[in-house]
Structure 1
Amino acid sequence: MQLRHYLFIGTLNPLLERLARGDADLVSSYTNAFAFTQLCGVLCAPWNGLILDRHKRGKAPRPDGALGALADLRASVLSLAVTVTQCVLFSICAAVPVLPVQFATFVLQVISRSFLYGGNAAFLAVAFPPQHFGKLYGLAMALSALVALLQYPCVALVRGPLRGDPFYVNVGLIAVVLVAFVSPVVVARECRRRAKELEAAGTPLAAPPGAETPTELPH
C-alpha cells in the first residue's frame, strides 16, 4: 500500500499532464487541489483511532488482561479491513483515465494514507507485547521502504515499454493491494483461536447481564 501511495505521488504531474492534454493552467489547478487535500490529512488522522477504540466507549469498563487484549485485537480487524478497502478504492480511482475522477483520488489518497500509517503503529501496539514495539515498528518501516523501491522499475516500465500509459501498472498494483485483505482475515482467525483458548480455560468472554463493576468501599 505504501508503494501505491509513493508511486501515485511520484507520477502525479505526468499523470495530470497526460489527462489534461498539456493544459498547464488545468494541471496547476489540480496540483493545487491535491496540495489542499494533503493539508486536510490532519483532520483524518483520528478517524482510525475512533474505530479502534469503539469498544471502549460503552458504559461497561474495558476488561483487563487477556480479555482486554482480545477486545483490542478484535477492534483492529475492522480497522485493517477499512484501511485496505480505502486503498483499493484509491487505486481504482487512480487507474481511471478521467481527469475529474482525480478529485476523488486525492480525497481517498489522503484518508487512506492517514489510516495506513496510524493504523500500522496502533496495530503493532495492540497485537504484540509493548517491549517489542520499537523493534517491530522499525522492521515494518524497513520492509515497507524496501518494497517502495519498486517504484523506480515501475516508472521505468511506464516510460519505456508501456510508452507512458500506466494502465497495466495500475491494474497490477490493484491486484497487489487486494492481497492485503489477507491481514484482517488472519487477525480475525487469531481472535477466534484466542477466544476458544479462553473459553477452554473457563474464562467468560462477556460479562453476565446486570453485572456491575464493584466499587471500592471507604476504609
Structure 2
Amino acid sequence: MGHIMRLWVLSSALVETLLFSGCLLGWNSLSPVLRDMGVMSQDCHSDPEQSGAWSNRSAGGAQHIPSADLSLFLPFALMAQGLGGSCVLFSSLMLPQVLEDVGSLYSALVMASFTASATVFTIFKVIFYAGVPMVPIILGYGAMSCAMFLNCTLCWSLNPTGKEDENIYSVRLRLNCYEAVNKKKPQEAEWCQKSLKHKFQESLKDRERILSQRRKLSFKRPDVPAPSPLLESLTSPTFTLHLLSDSTLLTWIYFYVASVNLHLHSQMDDPDQPDLYSSVFGALQMLGLFTAPLISILLNNHRIRKRARNSGLTTARNSSRRACSIKRLSAIYALRCLVVICFGISCLIPSLNVQVVSFILHVIMRTSMFLLSSTLYLCMFPSPHFGALIGINTFISSILSLVQYPIFLLFTGPLESDPFWIHSVFLVLSLAAVALPLHLTVKNNRQHPHPLCRPIPLRQVTPPTKT
C-alpha cells in the first residue's frame, strides 16, 4: 500500500469513527426533536402548556408532527446504531495492527473520535431547528454512511502491507565437513572435495528418496516459558478490581447523563434554557479530541506497546521498563480516582452551572476508560490474553449497565427525580477504586524491589591450600 493510500485510510477511518461510531449517549440531544415530531407521544401525559412550550421553541418553523407509527422504529434504530457503531470503532482500532509503523497515538485519536461522536446528534438538532425537516437530515446521513461503505470496500486491501511471503520460511543445511575442507590448503581442499564427491556419490543420486523420508522438522525454544492460562488472568486480583471499578464508573456515567437530561426537561420556566445547556453539553463532547491524545502521552503508551513487541531485549532492561510503566500507570489511576471524586461531589450540587463542570469531568473519564484498560492489560498480563480481557471487560460492563432500568424506576418513583442519594451511593462505591492503584504499587514493589532493599549474596571463600 502506497504512502498516500495509507494516509487516506487512516484519516478517513478517523472521520468515519467521528461521524458513525454511534455513541448512544448522544441520543439525549435528539429527545427535544423527537418530542416536537411526536415520537413516543402515546407514552407521555397530555399537558397543553408543556406541548405549547416545546413547539414554540422551534426557531425555524419546525412543527409538531404526530408520529403514534414512527415510535416503533426507535428501539430498532438504537440497536442498529449501537451494533454498526461498534463495528466502525473496532475496525478503526485494528488498523494499527494491519498497517505497520502506526503509533499508539492513533488508537488514542480513534477513542477521541468515538467520545466526540455524540456531537453529531447535537448538530442534527441545530440543523432541525434551523428549519430543515428531519427526513432529509436522516437521508443525508444515510448517504454518507453508504459512502463510508464504498470507501472501506475500495480502499481497504486484504493484504495492505504487501508482504505475501512473510509466512514462508526456509531452512538451509550444510555439512560441517565442507567447512573443514575450505580451511585447508587449495591443493588439499581440491583433493578432499573429489574424495567427498566420490564418497557421497551414491547418496546424492538417491537424495530425493532420502529427503522425502523426513519432511517435517520440529524446532523448540527452551528459553521461552509456557504461557499462563487465561483463567489465571481472569481470576487475578488486578483484573477483578479493574472490572469492578470500570463497571461501577460506566453505570454511574449512564445514569448521570440520563439525570441531567431529565433535569434539563424540567426547566420549563425559561424555554430557551434547556436548549442552551443541551447545546453546551453537546459541544463539550469535542473535548475528547484533546483529552484522549493527552492521556495517551501521559501513559507513555507507545513505549509500552514497543516493549511488548520487542521480546528480544534482555531480561534486566525488560524488567526495568515494565516497572516504570507500572509506576506511571499507578499514578494515572490515582489521578483518575481524584477526578472521579471531584465528579461525584459536583454531581451532588443541583445547579446547571456546576453540572457543566461535571460534564467536562465525565468526558475525561469516558475518554480515559479504554486507554487505561488497554495499558493495564499490556503491562500486567500476557500479550495473548489482551483481546480476551478487553472483550470480557466490555461484555460484563455492558451487562451490568442493565441495572439502569431499576435505578431509573427508583429515581423517578420514591426519590421523586432527586438524584442526590443515587449519586451519593455511587460516590461511596467509587472510593473502592482507590484499591487498584494501591494494589499495583504494592505488586510492583514486590516484583521489582529497590536496589538498596535487595539482599546481598554472600559467598564463602575457601582459603588456598598450602603445597
Q: Which bin holds the TM-score, normalised by the shorter protein?
A: 0.7 to 0.9
1:118–1:101 distance in 2 versus 1, CA, 3 Å? same
Runs (4+) off by over 4 Å: 197-202
Match of 1:53 in 2: 300
Secondary structure of the residue aligned to 1:107 is helix
The number of equivalent residue pairs is 194
| CA distances 1:9-45 after superposition (whole Å, capped 9, x unpaired) | 2232112234x35533101111101100112211110
- Residues 78 and 184 in structure 1, CA contact (< 8 A), matched pair in contact too: yes
User: Unaligned stretches of 5+ in structure 1?
Assistant: 57-62, 203-219
- Residues 259 and 419 in structure 2, CA contact (< 8 A), matched pair in contact too: no
How far 1:120 moved relative to its partner? 1.4
Match of 1:33 in 2: 280
1:160–1:192 distance in 2 versus 1, CA, 3 Å? same
2:409 to 156, 164, 180: 156
1:9 to 238, 254, 257: 257
- Residues 51 and 78 in structure 1, CA contact (< 8 A), matched pair in contact too: no
Q: TM-score, normalized by length of structure 2?
A: 0.39
2:260 partner amino acid: L
Task: Tell me how far apart the structure 2 counterparts of residues 7 and 52 of structure 1 sit (CA, whole Å).
Answer: 28
- Residues 17 and 24 in structure 1, CA contact (< 8 A), matched pair in contact too: no
Secondary structure of the residue aligned to 1:33 is helix
1:91 partnered with 2:339: no
| CA distances 1:97-130 after superposition (whole Å, capped 9, x unpaired) | 0121111112111112112222111211122111
- Residues 41 and 110 in structure 1, CA contact (< 8 A), matched pair in contact too: yes
1:192 partner amino acid: N
Identity among equivalent positions (%) equals: 24
User: Unaligned stretches of 5+ in structure 2?
Assistant: 1-248, 304-315, 457-467
Q: Cα RMSD over matched residues? A: 2.2
2:388 partner amino acid: K
Task: Tell me how far apart the structure 2 counterparts of residues 44 and 70 of structure 1 sit (CA, whole Å).
Answer: 25
1:145 partnered with 2:392: no
How far 1:90 moved relative to its partner? 1.5
Higher relative contact order (CA 8 A, sep 6+): 1
1:112 partnered with 2:365: yes
Mapping of 1:202-213 within 5 angstroms?
Answer: none
- Residues 3 and 151 in structure 1, CA contact (< 8 A), matched pair in contact too: yes
1:172–1:64 distance in 2 versus 1, CA, 3 Å? same
Q: Which has the larger radius of gyration?
A: 2
